[in-house]
Amino acid sequence: MKQFQYSRPATQQAVIDAINKPGAKIIAGGTNLVDLMKRGVTAPDKLIDINHLPLKNIAPVKGGLHIGALALNSVVSENKLVVAQQPLLSMALKAGASPQLRNMATVGGNILQRTRCAYFYDTTMPCNKREPGSGCGAIGGYNRMHAIFGASDKCIAVHPSDMCVALVALDATVIVQSKKGTRRIPFADFHRLPGEHPDLDNNLAAGELILGVEIPDNNFAKNSYYLKIRDRQSYAFALVSVAASLELEGNTIKNARLAMGGVAHKPWRLVEAEKALIGKPVSAETFNIAAQIAIQGAKTYGGNDFKLKLAPATITEALKHASGLV
């Protein structure tokens, strides 16, 4: 690992000043950053430790729940308010990484974790995300884990987070601070598609610190499910994952949220499929129709052709669990 300077600025303001300097990078849990630094994928000159900032709180706010950027993934997943009000988030977090890693990983770091594409990780391989202009090894290469939605001819990597799939389904907002003040970014607009610039994962500007996320209140607590399909039962990234939340009135679907992980450069919200659910009865047929709508426009790259079958099947199964049909 390349040498770097370490600093722990005393206040939030001092952190903002420090991250504005070129070559500076925030470290929270370090579970993604230290890994990437060991492999030489990234090599900051200066690490700014933010772990002492008062950003660990999980508390109700007007119309929703606030979760601080430094709240640990393990703590959030077991928090009483989260489990009672936003069980989808709890389930998604518990499906991610391992208990040890969740004890280190923070909410802010989880949002900003980078893709697990093998070509991104291997510095001897071409990768437009790591080294713009070098090409994409995954197109025509090993692409079993890769995107079926929204990819470009520059990059077909996926965003690996489970937590973010729940947060996009729950219409969360990311709150960030910079020298210019604070701003609120809707979760669906936070991450971006690769387009011509796969080196940019998201719309966070240089010098911005994530303070936390806010999840608006909802009526999904009784009928939510996170289903993650992977190569082994646990401790593996998703081939496909589905976050499903329903609000039921008798047997009728009053409101619905659906999002998928492991399929795009960002957590993938399925708005059209949601529309196909609303007003319909809870039934396998309703769910199958929504699942078929969900995968319209999907494009595969050889190694990930199987996702065309796996994705709709996972959606149907997740909806069955969420609705209590199984």
Partner 1 sequence: MKSKNPPEEPAHENNFLESSRRDFLKHSGLLTAIALTPAPLVSAAQKGFDEKIADLYEKVPVSLEVNGVKHQLSIEPRVTLLDLLREQLELTGTKKGCDHGQCGACTVHVDGHRVNSCLTLGVLVSGKKITTIEGLAKGDQLHPMQEAFIKHDGFQCGYCTPGQIMSAVACIREGHANSEHEIREYMSGNICRCGAYPNIVNAIQEVKEGGQPV
Ligand X SMILES: Cc1cc2nc3c(=O)[nH]c(=O)nc-3n(C[C@H](O)[C@H](O)[C@H](O)COP(=O)(O)OP(=O)(O)OC[C@H]3O[C@@H](n4cnc5c(N)ncnc54)[C@H](O)[C@@H]3O)c2cc1C
Name the residue with tokens 């387009």.
195
Can you tell me which of 5, 123, 134, 251 binds partner 1, judged by CB under 8 A? 5
Q: Find out whether 119 and 137 touch, Cβ atoms under 8 Å.
A: yes
Order of all β-strands in the sheet with 46-49: 5-7, 46-49, 24-27
DSSP string, 224-270: EEEEEE-SSSSSS--SEEEEEEEEEETTEEEEEEEEEESSSSS-EE-
Question: Considering CB distances under 5 to 8 angstroms, the limit depending on partner class, which of ligand X, partner 1, none binds residue 267?
Answer: none
Question: Nearest distance from residue 26's CB to ligand X, in Å?
Answer: 4
SS3 112: helix
Q: Is 71 in the site for partner 1 (CB under 8 A)?
A: no
The count of residues interacting with partner 1 (CB under 8 A) is 29
Question: Nearest distance from residue 235's CB to partner 1, in Å?
Answer: 4
Write the Ramachandran bin of 302: left for phi over 0, alpha for psi from -120 to 50, otherwise beta.
Answer: left
- CB-wise, 31 or 128, nearer to ligand X? 31
**Contacting positions for ligand X (CB under 6 A):** 25-33, 35, 50, 69, 73, 96-97, 101, 104-106, 108-110, 112-113, 160-163, 209-210, 237
Task: Give CA separation, 34 vs 7, 29, 162, 169, 253, in Å.
Answer: 16, 9, 20, 29, 45
Question: Considering CB distances under 5 to 8 angstroms, the limit depending on partner class, which of ligand X, partner 1, none binds residue 45?
Answer: partner 1
Q: Of all helices (H) and strands (E), which one includes residue 100?
A: helix 99-102
Find, among 261, 275, 265, the residue nearest to 318 by Cα.
261
Question: Nearest distance from residue 283's CB to ligand X, in Å?
Answer: 32
Question: Nearest distance from residue 171's CB to ligand X, in Å?
Answer: 19
Q: Is 12 in the site for partner 1 (CB under 8 A)?
A: no
Can you tell me which of 103, 255, 283, 292 binds partner 1, judged by CB under 8 A? 103
- CB-wise, 99 or 281, nearer to partner 1? 99
- CB-wise, 30 or 141, nearer to partner 1? 30
Q: Find out whether 212 and 75 touch, Cβ atoms under 8 Å.
A: no
Can you tell me which of 11, 57, 98, 219 binds partner 1, judged by CB under 8 A? 98
Name the residue with tokens 């020298």.
179
Q: Of all helices (H) and strands (E), which one includes residue 5?
A: strand 5-7
Question: Considering CB distances under 5 to 8 angstroms, the limit depending on partner class, which of ligand X, partner 1, none binds residue 160?
Answer: ligand X
Query: Which residues are at the interface with partner 1 (CB under 8 A)?
Result: 1-6, 27, 30-31, 34-35, 37-39, 45, 47, 49, 51, 74, 97-101, 103-104, 233-235
